[in-house]
Structure 1
């Protein structure tokens, strides 16, 4: 990611923070619309608490983009936990699609083409790190 992309992601996320509860609910609505089978991963989950966790994790990643090396261990741990929840590699593309759709709906015109490219790059980086960590864990088992 370029420094400009990092700035775009961080600035646009600041606009999400005031609407974080609605954004989280919208994210899961979009996620389940794209792939209804993912609902099974959340059967016993308090979705309001899950939404808060999602927003906290996104905030952590977004704020850490400018020093990615410092957040990598936490992201890798998150990926390993997600394996235990039943998350599979192909789910990451669906999550990325739901994230972009959520940002588009939540930010409206503020979600410019440049912001879309920046968020796509940020999510691509996050997903690749998580997928690699999950694969490492599975190979070690």
Structure 2
């Protein structure tokens, strides 16, 4: 990612943080609309799950300019999702689609093509790291 893309992601995330509860609701509503079978993977309080999601995204966004420091943690998260939660690899594309849609809803006119491209690259990078953890779990 370029420094400009990192800045776009960080600046846009700052605009989402004040509406994080609503953003989490939008995300999960969209996710379950895209793939209703994923709902069975979530056993607990969805409000708490939303808070965890927003905290995880916040940590990832804050670490984008030093990505190499969080990649082992992201890979471990992927492994945990595969082993403990039995998250199918195919769901990563659906999660990405729901995330990008949610950001578009939350940011409105501020969700420019450049911002969207930066977020797509961010998600692609992080999900690839998670998937490498998934592959490690399968080996």
- Which string of whole-angstrom CA distances, capped at 9 and with x for unpartnered residues, describes residues 66-97 of structure 1? 00011112111211111120111111000000
Residue 24 (structure 1) shift: 0.5
Q: What TM-score results when the alignment is normalised by the length of structure 1?
A: 0.96
CA distance in 2, matches of 1:48, 1:85: 18
Question: Which moves more between the two structures, 128-137 or 92-101?
Answer: 128-137
Gaps of 5+ in 2: none
Measured on the aligned residues, the alpha-carbon RMSD in Å equals 0.7
Gaps of 5+ in 1: none
- Deviation beyond 2 Å, 4+ runs, structure 1: none
Aligned length: 138
Within-5 A mapping of 1:1-141: 1-42=1-42, 44-83=43-82, 84-139=84-139
- Which string of whole-angstrom CA distances, capped at 9 and with x for unpartnered residues, describes residues 96-140 of structure 1? 00000000011100111100000000000001000011101210x
Residue 45 (structure 1) shift: 1.4
3-state DSSP class of the match of 2:63?
helix
